[in-house]
Amino acid sequence: MHDANVSRSADSFVPLTASAVLVNPVGLHARPSVKLTQLAKSFAAKIEIALDADGPWTDAKSPVKVMRVKAPQGATLHFRVTGADGETALATLLALVHDGFGET
Amino acid sequence: MSSSKTVNVGIVIVSHSLKIAEGAADMVRQMVGDAVPLAWTGGDVDGGLGTNVAGILEAIDAAWSPSGVAILVDLGGAETNSEMAVEMLPEDRRGRVVVCNAPVVEGAVIAATEASGGSSLSAVKRSAEELYA
C-alpha cells in the first residue's frame, strides 16, 4: 500500500525558507513593496513573505497584499519559496532586502 | 529590440484635475518604471476641472497595448466619460479596455506594478480592485 500523502507529482517541491532584516529606512513601504512584487513576479516559484516564521504568509506577487504587510525598518522578513526556480528566487530576493531595495 | 519582449497591459489615468492625473503618472513612472505604456488626461475641454471623452480617447490611444488597457478614474464623471470613451472605441479594441473600480493614485501604481510583470488585463484589474476589498 502507498501512503496517500506521499506526493508523486514531478512538480512538487519542498518549500525553501530564509529571512532577512529590513535595513532600508522606510521598511517595506510603497516603493520597496513594488520592487519586491516585481522581482517575485519574475519567478515561476510560489513566493510568500511573513513577519513571523510561523506566518501568516502573504503572496509576494500581490502588490496590494505586500503593501499591507507594512513591515518597518529592523523587522525580519521571512520568505517561503516553492518551485523549480526557488533557489534562484530566494537568493535574488534576499539580495534585494540586504541591498535595502536599492535605497540609500 | 527583442521580439520575445512581453507586451504589457497599458495604464490610463483619468482625473478631474490634470495635476492629479499628471502627479499620479509621475508616481507610476518613478515607482514602477518604464515597462508599462502609460498615459493620463484631466480637465474639461476649457482647461477647468472635469473630464472629457476626447481626451480619454487620446489617452487610451497613447497607452494602447495589444494586451489591453486598464483605466483608473477618480470621481463620477471620470468614470462615466471613460465608459463612454470605451463605447466609442473601434470594435476590435473595445473588449480590451476596462475601467477599474479602484482609487486613482494607489490603483494606478498597483495596476502598473501588476502590468509590469506581464499579467493579463483581468489580473491587472483584479489587483487594483483588491484595494477596495
If pLDDT is split at 50, 70 and 90, which confidence band does A5 have? very low
pLDDT at A8 over 60: no
> Helix, strand, coil % (nearest 5) of chain B?
50, 15, 35
| A50 DSSP β-pair partners | A78
Residue B1 resides in a domain: no
Residue B2 within a domain? no
**pLDDT number for residue A48:** 98
Query: B58: domain range?
Result: 10-132
Q: Do B117 and A61 touch (CB under 8 A)?
A: yes
Nearest-Cα distance to chain A for B63, in Å, is 20
Q: What would the grid cell of residue A65 be?
A: 497584499
- Show which residues of A are catalytic: 29
Cα–Cα distance, B61 to B21 (Å, whole number) = 16
- CA–CA separation, B48 vs B59, rounded Å? 18
Interface test with B, best of A64, A68, A69 (most B CBs within 10 A): A64
Domains of chain A by residue range: 24-102
Q: Which of B113, B114, B119, B124 to mutate to test the interface with A (most CBs of A within 10 A)?
A: B113
Overall CATH class of domain A24-102: alpha beta
Q: Does residue B3 lie in a domain region?
A: no
Tell me the chain A residues in contact with residue B127 when contact means C-beta distances shorter than 8 Å: 62-64
Q: Does residue B55 form part of some domain?
A: yes
pLDDT of amino acid A104: 61
ipTM of the complex: 0.83
- State whether residue B9 sits within 8 Å of chain A by CB: no
Residue B73 sits in a domain whose CATH number is: 3.40.50.510
Structure confidence at residue B40 (pLDDT): 98
Identity of residue B92? D
pLDDT tens, position by position, A36-86? 999 999 999 999 999 999 999 999 999 999 999 999 999 999 999 999 999
Amino acid residing at B28: V
Q: How many domains does chain B have?
A: 1
Give me the sign of the Cα torsion angle B21, B23, B26, B27. negative
Which is nearest to A31 in space by CA: B125, B115, B25, B109? B109
For residue A2, the distance in angstroms to the closest alpha carbon of chain B comes to: 39
What is the pLDDT at residue A11? 57
Q: What are the start-end ranges of the E strands in A41-92? A: 46-50, 58-59, 76-82
Provide the whole-model pTM: 0.87
B1 vs A94, higher pLDDT? A94
B13-41 mean pLDDT: 97
Write the residue in A38, A42, A64 that is nearest to B127 by C-beta.
A64
- Nearest residue on chain B to A38, alpha-carbon basis: B117
Q: Which of B110, B118, B133 sits opposite A63 (nearest CB)?
A: B110
| Strand blocks (E) in B27-132 | 38-42, 69-73, 97-100
